[in-house]
Structure formats: structure tokens, C-alpha cells
Amino acid sequence: MQEKEIRWKTSFLLLSICLCLFIFLISCDKPEIPDFKPALDITPGDISDRLVARIYFDATLSMQGFVVPGSTHYTRICPALESVIVSGWKDETVNFFRFGEKVEPIDRGTYLQAGYESFYEQEHIFRRTYIEEVIRHEEKLVNAQMKASSTPEDATEADVNDTPEATTEAITPTETVNERKKEGQLVVIVTDLFQDDSDITLLIDHLKEKYIKKGREVGLFGLRSQFDGTVYDIGIGEGSSLRYQSNPGDPKTFRPFYLLVLGKHADIAHYFDSLIANGFSEAETIIFSRYLVNPLLSFNRALIEKDNLSNRTFENSENQHLKQYEIVASINPAKISAKSMKYDPLPHVMSFDSDTFEVSITAKYKPDPSSKNEISIDAQQCLEVTSTFLESENGNELAVNFNLDSESLPGRTVYLYEVTLRPEINSYQAPKWCSEWDMGNKSDGSRTLNLVNFVRDLSQVTAREHEPEIAKFYFFVEKR
């Protein structure tokens, strides 16, 4: 009897040891992995359900030359500025203004006179163009809207309408927060963009502080038109004006004018597309925005080749941006090559001149089940990422190589790498058409003063503020 009891205890002990060993092996086979929370794709979104638009006309004498006998590109686009808003949004309100050294509201009947010389013969508007005055005026209107939208429900109608401008399209107190989110604001400034060096700097600073830093975009729509008149504020050589007449049969002699458009990226893009579809296909456009490509390039759009890595599944993620690997031999480098990613930029986006990109790398690991993700600087330094643009018959393609120094990885665990690619700040440049339209040091009425500086500097200001991305990659990698 005692012998059986000893045998039973021995068997139980062996079984317990085997069970503990089994549990230990299972636990070793399932290392702790960092929590995977991918960043949402950054997209321009949809156009606004409701649009409040304000159109500002530069009414200085420099603009009068665009109104010549017969039809011109300028006089044709004036009525289209409103009509594409009416047809392009299901609910819209449009108000009109003109400006020079100050801003004044005008009614729709006066707006329809923008194709006539008398529109620009207002002595109180003066000759100089101050676009920053429009931005200040917009700030007053926005503040008035905020004041009206926060008015108590028992306020009288007189209280609600006691705002700096009667033309303010205020949000009524009865509207819900969701309804307000669906409303977009679009500001369209029609101008020849003729400002001297100090004005350009001041304008960029105003756009940066009042729009770019607040997450709103800036668009530029350029069009050349027939011209016969005087260009003021040229700021070159003696005198401050230039008499210019274009050749009606030679579009290269036409003088540029611009729509400086402020609002949400999706609304600006839709506005530009609508104008182009309505007979202005020769226009040049830029949207100064955080959005360059949609969706971001990733493993999901790549041809993948790997070396010294085997596929693993640490997390049943449906996110196609994520790859999961185990290092085969820790003494050899691990490599991932992502090729044939077609780069399709969004329409109207900023130009950058680069075939390499700024790379940011984050490596995370999880020491134990109860801990949060921790950053491993050493693991980040073990990964080298290089990228190049490749020209193909179907357009530009991006190739990205990931080289991981497996042996130098600091610990035997699972790392989650997040890799982001973005153009370098200084790679943003004015596109070729800006150079062709820029006046430089010559008194040429068919060109614009300081256009290249304006476009380049505004692009770099936008890029510095928002750091636009073109690609994002995630992968788990385990070192045993």
C-alpha cells in the first residue's frame, strides 16, 4: 500500500513538472507584444454640406485693365465665381465685397458690374492692394459669428443682429453642434497679387497666423487674361507704375490674375475643379495643405521582398499597413524591400523637388503584461530606411528599403516599428509655371511681382507647420 502511494506521488510530481514545463514553453512562445494602435489615415474629407462663401474683388486701378472691350478670361470668370458655388453645394450663401486699402460690402447687383470699368473707379478704394485688410475683415466676421452662435436663447433679434457687419452669415442659436460641423467657410479673393517685398512677408505672416496654424488651407488659382491698362505698385526702378497692353492673339502676353481662396481643403479643391470644368482648363492651381496623397503609401500598396525574416502572426489585425515577422538568424541583417508603390498626388498639391525623404522611426516594446508601450531608442537606431522615386511608364513609383541590424537589437523581445516618410521642408519649391509668370527684375506687365517667393515661402510655412506625410509603415519584428 505504501509502495503504491509513493508511486502515485512520484507520478503526480512528474506530471506537475511536465505541466509547468509545458506552460513555460507556451509562455515563451507567446512573448508580450506592444499594443498596436495605428494612426488614422489623414484625408481631406468631403466637401461641406453647407457653404458660406464670401467673394472679395480687388477694386484698385491695376485690375481695371482686365476689363477691355469684348470678352476676356477675367470678365468671363467673374459671374462663374458665384455660379459654381450655387451649382456645387446643396446649401450655400454667397456675399460680396470689394477692397483696396479698406474693405466694403457690395450687393449682388454691384458684383455683376465687376466686368465694367466703373467698378474700379472708386476714389475711396485708392490704388494700393492690401490683402491683409481682407484677412482682418474676415476675422471680425468670424468673431461676430461666434458671438451670435453663443447668444442666449432668450436674446432679442436686435441683440443677435448687433454685429460689426450686417452681411455676416451668423449661425443661429437653434442650430446643433453637428450642423455647425457640416458648415464650411470659403473666402475667395480676386486680385493681381501685386505687392512689394514687405507686403508679401506681411501677407504670408497673416495667412500663417489666421489660417494655416488654425488648420485651414490656402489655395491659389492663377489665370492669364487679356489686359490693357496701368499696373501699379510694381516696385521696380523709377516710378511705381507700368503701362501695359497684351496682344489679343498671343496668350503668352496675357497678364495673370489670381483667386486666393481660404477654407477647407476639400471645399477649395471642389471649387477649383468646378471652375476648371466650366471652361477655365488653362488655369494653374496650388493648395497649400497638409494633404499630399490619399491614401498614404504603405505596405498595402507595395511589392514586398524580405531577407532573414519569416512571417509571424502576433496580432490578428486587419490593418493592411501592418506586417509581422520573426528574425531567422539574429547575426545577419534583416531586410524588407517595398517596391512598386505608385505615387498618385492629390490634385492641386504643393510641389517638392526631391527623390529622398525625411524619415521618422519609432520602436516600441512591452516589458510585461501590466506595462504600457515603451520607446526603445536603441532599437530605433538599429533600423535604417532609404527611399527613392523611380520614373515608370505609369508615373512615379516609390521604393523603400528597411535594413535592420538584427545582432545589435538590444533585447530578445517583439518590437513594433512605425516609420513615416515626408518631404524635407526645403524641398518644397514653386512649380515651373510660377517661374514663367514671375516678373523677376524686369518691368514686364505679363508677369507677377514676387510670385516665386510667395509660393515657395507659403509652401515651406505650411510644411513646417503640418509636416505633410506621403507614407506610413508598421511592422512587428521578434528577436529570439
130-141 confidence digits (pLDDT tens):
899 999 999 998
Identify the band that residue 365 occupies on the pLDDT scale cut at 50, 70 and 90. Answer: very high
Region 299-323: what's the mean pLDDT? 90
Is the predicted pLDDT of residue 21 greater than 90, yes or no?
no
| Amino acid identity, position 20 | C
* Residue 162 three-state SS: coil
Is the predicted pLDDT of residue 334 greater than 70, yes or no?
yes
pTM of the predicted protein model: 0.85
Q: What's the Rg (C-alpha) of the chain?
A: 31
Percent with pLDDT over 90 in the chain: 64
Angle at 403 between CA 400 and CA 405, to 5 degrees: 165
- Residues 140-178 pLDDT 10s: 988 887 777 654 444 433 333 333 333 333 334 344 434
| Domains, the chain, ordered by start | 50-289 (3.40.50), 293-480 (no CATH)
Do residues 283 and 348 touch, judged by C-beta distance below 8 A? no
Is the predicted pLDDT of residue 79 greater than 60, yes or no?
yes
Grid cell for residue 103? 474693405
How far apart CA 367 and CA 99 sit, in angstroms, is 63
Is the predicted pLDDT of residue 88 greater than 60, yes or no?
yes
How far apart CA 205 and CA 397 sit, in angstroms, is 35
Q: What is the mean pLDDT of the chain?
A: 86
So what's the pLDDT on residue 218?
98
Is the predicted pLDDT of residue 26 greater than 90, yes or no?
no
So what's the pLDDT on residue 330?
84
Is the predicted pLDDT of residue 234 greater than 90, yes or no?
no
Which of 11-20, 62-71, 334-343 has the largest mean confidence?
Answer: 334-343
Region 319-346: what's the mean pLDDT? 92
Give the DSSP letter string of 52-121.
Answer: EEEEEEE-SHHHHTT--SS--HHHHHHHHHHHHHHHH-SEEEEEEEEESSSEEEE-HHHHTTTTSGGGG-
38: left (phi over 0), alpha (psi -120 to 50) or beta: beta
Do residues 63 and 257 touch, judged by C-beta distance below 8 A? yes
Q: Peptide bond preceding 333: is omega within 30 degrees of 0, i.e. cis?
A: no
Q: Which of 116-125, 142-151, 167-176, 309-318 shows the lowest per-residue confidence on average (mean pLDDT)?
A: 167-176
Identify the band that residue 16 occupies on the pLDDT scale cut at 50, 70 and 90. Answer: low
Q: Which of 59-63, 122-126, 293-297 shows the lowest per-residue confidence on average (mean pLDDT)?
A: 122-126
Q: Which of 221-225, 314-318, 421-425, 474-478 shows the lowest per-residue confidence on average (mean pLDDT)?
A: 314-318
Is the predicted pLDDT of residue 237 greater than 90, yes or no?
no
So what's the pLDDT on residue 390?
82
Mode of pairing for the β-strands spanning 414-422 and 383-392: unpaired
